[in-house]
Amino acid sequence: MNTQNKPVRVRYAPSPTGFFHVGGARTALYDYLLAKQTGGQFIIRIEDTDQKRFNPEAVDNLFSGLRYLGLDWDEGPDVGGDYAPYRQTDRLEYYQKYAKILMEKGHAYRCFCSSERLAEVNKKRQKAKLPSGYDRHCRDISADESLKRAEAGEPFTIRLKVPREGTIILPDALRGDITFKNRILQDAVLMKSNGIPTYHLAVVVDDYLMKITHVIRGEEWISSYPLHGHIYNFLGLDMPIFVHLPVILNPNGKGKISKREKTGKDGKIMPVFVHTFEKLGYLPEAMINFMALLGWSYDDKTEIISRDELIERFSLDRVNTSGATWNYKKLNHFNGVYIRSLTVEDLTDRIMPYLKKAGVSADRETMLRITPMIQERITVLSEAISMVDFFFIDELPDYDVNLLAPKKKTLADVPDILKSARDTLAKIEFSHDEIETNLRNAVKESGLKAGQLFQPIRVATCGKKVAPPLFGTLEVLGKECVLHRIDKAIKLLGDK
Q: Which is closer to ligand GLU, CB of 58 or CB of 385?
A: 58
Q: Which is closer to ligand GLU, CB of 189 or CB of 477?
A: 189
Distance CA 407, CA 385 (A): 27
Would you count residue 422 as binding ligand GLU (CB under 6 A)? Answer: no
Distance CA 445, CA 437 (A): 12
Q: Which is closer to ligand GLU, CB of 203 or CB of 435?
A: 203
- Write down the least CB distance from residue 16 to ligand GLU, Å: 8
Segment near ligand GLU (CB under 6 A), from 11-19, 257-265, 267-275, 363-371? 11-19
Q: Are 311 and 72 in contact (CB under 8 A)?
A: no
- Write down the least CB distance from residue 90 to ligand GLU, Å: 15
Q: Which is closer to ligand GLU, CB of 63 or CB of 430?
A: 63
Q: What backbone phi and psi angles, to 5 degrees, belong to 203?
A: -65, -40
Consecutive H or E run containing 204: helix 199-209
- Residue 382's SS3 state is coil
- Write down the least CB distance from residue 341 to ligand GLU, Å: 34
Distance CA 477, CA 479 (A): 7
Distance CA 138, CA 135 (A): 9
Segment near ligand GLU (CB under 6 A), from 13-21, 97-105, 126-134, 348-356? 13-21
Consecutive H or E run containing 44: strand 41-44
Query: According to CB under 6 A, which one of 8, 9, 10, 13 is a site residue for ligand GLU?
Result: 13
Q: Which is closer to ligand GLU, CB of 246 or CB of 415?
A: 246
Would you count residue 14 as binding ligand GLU (CB under 6 A)? Answer: yes
Would you count residue 240 as binding ligand GLU (CB under 6 A)? Answer: no
Largest Cα span, the chain: 105
Helix axes 470-477, 479-495, angle to 10 degrees: 100
- Write down the least CB distance from residue 82 to ligand GLU, Å: 20
Strands (DSSP E) contained in 118-222 are 157-160, 167-172, 176-181, 189-191, 214-218
- Residue 229's SS3 state is helix
Would you count residue 383 as binding ligand GLU (CB under 6 A)? Answer: no
Query: According to CB under 6 A, which one of 84, 96, 163, 221 is a site residue for ligand GLU?
Result: 221
Distance CA 156, CA 17 (A): 26
Q: What backbone phi and psi angles, to 5 degrees, belong to 80?
A: 75, -160
Would you count residue 285 as binding ligand GLU (CB under 6 A)? Answer: no
- Write down the least CB distance from residue 94 to ligand GLU, Å: 16
Would you count residue 217 as binding ligand GLU (CB under 6 A)? Answer: yes
Which residues neighbour 322 within 8 Å (Cβ) at sequence distance 6 or greater?
246
Distance CA 450, CA 462 (A): 17
- Write down the least CB distance from residue 15 to ligand GLU, Å: 4
Segment near ligand GLU (CB under 6 A), from 12-20, 34-42, 441-449, 463-471? 12-20
- Write down the least CB distance from residue 414 to ligand GLU, Å: 60
Q: Which amino acid is at 238?
A: D
Distance CA 258, CA 62 (A): 18
Would you count residue 246 as binding ligand GLU (CB under 6 A)? Answer: no
Size of the site for ligand GLU (CB under 6 A): 8
Q: Which is closer to ligand GLU, CB of 221 or CB of 298?
A: 221
- Write down the least CB distance from residue 14 to ligand GLU, Å: 5
Would you count residue 257 as binding ligand GLU (CB under 6 A)? Answer: no
Q: Which is closer to ligand GLU, CB of 36 or CB of 217?
A: 217
Q: Which amino acid is at 71?
A: L
Between residue 30 and residue 59, which ones bind ligand GLU under the rule CB under 6 A? Answer: 47
Q: Are 347 and 339 in contact (CB under 8 A)?
A: yes
Would you count residue 158 as binding ligand GLU (CB under 6 A)? Answer: no
Query: According to CB under 6 A, which one of 15, 325, 420, 438 is a site residue for ligand GLU?
Result: 15
Would you count residue 232 as binding ligand GLU (CB under 6 A)? Answer: no
Active-site residue identified among 148, 259, 268, 419: 259
Distance CA 108, CA 159 (A): 5
Between residue 165 and residue 204, which ones bind ligand GLU under the rule CB under 6 A? Answer: 199, 203
Distance CA 28, CA 45 (A): 11
Q: Which is closer to ligand GLU, CB of 47 or CB of 75?
A: 47
Plot region of 488 (φ>0 → left; ψ -120 to 50 → alpha; else → beta): alpha
Strands (DSSP E) contained in 155-240 are 157-160, 167-172, 176-181, 189-191, 214-218
Is 259 considered catalytic here?
Answer: yes
Which residues of the chain form contacts with ligand GLU (CB under 6 A)? 13-15, 47, 199, 203, 217, 221
Please list the active-site residues: 259
